[in-house]
């Protein structure tokens, strides 16, 4: 394929986010946070389907036992896509009516790491949480203005997390008990790079980052050096993930909110020239 392909569909996302590769379904899932939609693309047939919810939908992560965990509004819920049924797991911020859940990833231990942020994207009211397999939620870091893009190392020894408003990706060691070591700046974005949004590791230990405002996904070395970028025909790039049987296809989400661009909010497929890591599942 060409380096960049626009996935054909009948709509654009207001705020596309949270791409997730499902090996068991041969499908890509992603959200449109502001339209409160969970989208599904079958890689086998190209068919696209969706579920619509009653609140902002930050992400969906597969459960090992079937179905998903979703971040909906300020709540964490189990979701059965076959019936549409949801069941509350946790509500980490019941009194923070100004906040919503934004982005999350599962790690090698089957836990979920999820951030919250202010709905207005301007106040530092967000936090970073860990959802353990027994359903316990623990606040592990904060505050955040726009908590974004957890990415967990292949061996589970550390993770990266972003405050997009600070244009900085932070590194945390993960201790044996699930607690985090100190927050250490890992990559400070220069203005021409845009702002770091969602991200994922590849099989070589390099980091791919959706660059909000810069119209690209960028690959960084394991040491945090900027290696190369793939330009995309939309400015607000939000996240990326590897997909396909060989984990050698990359899908990239974008946002059309606030911009007049023909491809703002499109879903893109790019040729990354490398392979990704297997999707981790929640084991609770």
Tokens 């408003």 correspond to 165
d(CA 147, CA 104): 9
* SS3 state of residue 64: coil
Tokens 């982005």 correspond to 103
User: Quick check: is 54 catalytic?
Assistant: no
Q: Is 17 annotated as a binding residue?
A: yes
Q: Is 99 annotated as a binding residue?
A: no
Query: Which one of 10, 197, 202, 248 is the catalytic residue?
Result: 197
d(CA 180, CA 174): 5
Neighbours of 220 (CB within 10 A): 20
Instruction: Yes or no: say if 114 and 124 are a contact pair by the CB < 8 Å rule.
Output: no
Q: Is 171 annotated as a binding residue?
A: no
Instruction: Yes or no: say if 244 and 23 are a contact pair by the CB < 8 Å rule.
Output: no
Q: Hey, which residues does 167 pair with through a beta bridge? A: none
Please name which of 132, 182, 193, 189 lies closest in space to residue 163, comparing C-alpha atoms.
189
Instruction: Yes or no: say if 209 and 226 are a contact pair by the CB < 8 Å rule.
Output: no
| Residues annotated as catalytic (active site), given as ranges | 197
Q: Pick out the residues of the known binding site for substrate.
A: 100, 102
Residues of each annotated binding site: 17, 100, 102, 148, 197
């Amino acid at each position: 394929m060409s380096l960049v392909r626009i996935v054909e569909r009948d709509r654009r996302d207001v705020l596309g986010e949270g791409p997730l590769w499902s090996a068991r379904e041969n499908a890509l899932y992603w959200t449109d946070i502001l339209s409160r939609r969970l989208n599904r693309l079958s890689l086998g047939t190209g068919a696209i389907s969706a579920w619509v919810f009653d609140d902002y939908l930050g992400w969906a992560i597969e459960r090992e036992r079937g179905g998903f965990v979703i971040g909906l509004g300020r709540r964490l819920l189990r979701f059965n896509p076959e019936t549409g049924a949801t069941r509350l797991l946790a509500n980490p911020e019941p009194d923070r009516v100004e906040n919503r859940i934004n982005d999350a990833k599962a790690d090698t231990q089957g836990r979920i790491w999820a951030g919250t942020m202010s709905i207005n994207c301007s106040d530092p009211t967000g936090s970073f949480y860990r959802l353990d397999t027994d359903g316990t939620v623990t606040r592990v870091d904060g505050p955040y203005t726009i908590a974004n893009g957890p990415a967990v190392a292949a061996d589970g020894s550390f993770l990266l997390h972003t405050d997009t408003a600070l244009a900085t990706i932070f590194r945390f060691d993960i201790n044996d008990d699930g607690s985090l070591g100190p927050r250490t700046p890992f990559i400070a974005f220069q203005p021409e790079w845009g702002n770091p949004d969602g991200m994922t590791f590849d099989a070589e230990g390099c980091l791919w980052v959706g660059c909000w405002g810069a119209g690209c996904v960028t690959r960084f070395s394991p040491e945090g050096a900027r290696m190369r970028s793939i330009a995309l025909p939309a400015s607000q790039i939000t996240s990326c993930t590897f997909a396909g049987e060989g984990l050698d296809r990359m899908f990239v989400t974008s946002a059309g909110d606030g911009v007049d661009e023909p491809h703002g909010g499109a879903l893109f497929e790019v040729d990354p020239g490398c392979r990704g890591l297997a999707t981790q599942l929640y084991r609770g």
